[in-house]
Amino acid sequence: MANAITRHIPNTVTCLNLFSGCIACVMAFEANYIWAAFFIILSSVFDFFDGLLSRMLKAYSPMGKELDSLADDISFGVAPALIVFSLFKEVHYPEFLTGIAAYVPYAAFLIAIFSALRLAKFNIDERQTSSFIGLPVPAGALFWASLTVGSHDFLTSPHFNAVYLILLVILFSGLLVSEIPMFALKFRNLSWAANKIAFIFLLVCIPLLVFLQISGFAACIVWYILLSVFTHTKGKQ
């Protein structure tokens, strides 16, 4: 009886991830960015614990793997896409784009599409056991959520416009399916030698979060990408 119950616990937590992601989508569509960000973060907590619980309880299943990817695309693909969709309706448009301004927001859904591609690729890519190839979808979602909440006044000011936002969407969509190796924050022990890159990452994140506050999370994701690229480039030399 215990095994029959415990094997469903990870999938239940995955469903909570999905439920939280659905609420994030509603909040994002209503341009309630703070609550959208909150539920995306909550989804990431559930996403962490469903994997942890499946390992602890030895409750692996093909269904759980597929369910996890479906939930992640809603929470970390569709939800941030809807944040950007709503943001597109608030940003300034240069004159040459005013005629198609009603259609430009739909470019935000590239985030959902490339997140789905990233998740499908992860499921069949045997190289991604201890690290990642391409930007993980939760990191991309955290970037969009924290950037929109923390820098909303700047993003909707005349100093920023839809062209820059389109370029950011294209850049981060491409990073999701890129072949750039990116390190995972997995600590087997606390030694400097074994976790040097992770420690360097975290040490720089602290001042970023202190000085930039909520926008600091977006800055940390950018720092994560740059450090991953630098580490990969140095390793090839």
Using DSSP, state whether 102 is helix, strand or coil.
Answer: coil
**Per-residue pLDDT, 68:** 86
Domains of the chain: 2-236 (1.20.120)
Percent of the chain with pLDDT over 90: 65
Q: Give the model's confidence band at 4: pLDDT under 50 very low, under 70 low, under 90 confident, else very high.
A: low
Given a cut of 80, is residue 237 above it in pLDDT? no
Given a cut of 70, is residue 3 above it in pLDDT? no
Q: Which of 105-109, 173-177, 185-189 has the lowest mean pLDDT?
A: 185-189
Model pTM score? 0.90
- Tens of pLDDT, residue by residue over 62-115, are 777 788 889 999 999 999 999 999 999 999 999 999 999 999 999 999 999 999
Residue 139 in tokens: 């990191």
Say how many CA atoms lie within 13 Å of 228 toward its Cβ: 21
Given a cut of 50, is residue 226 above it in pLDDT? yes
**Per-residue pLDDT, 52:** 72
**Per-residue pLDDT, 35:** 97
Q: Where does residue 31 fall: left (phi above 0), alpha (psi -120 to 50 degrees), or beta otherwise? A: left
DSSP states along 161-224? BHHHHHHHHHHHHHHHT---EE-----SS--TTTSHHHHHHHHHHHHHHHHHTTHHHHHHHHHH
**Per-residue pLDDT, 83:** 98
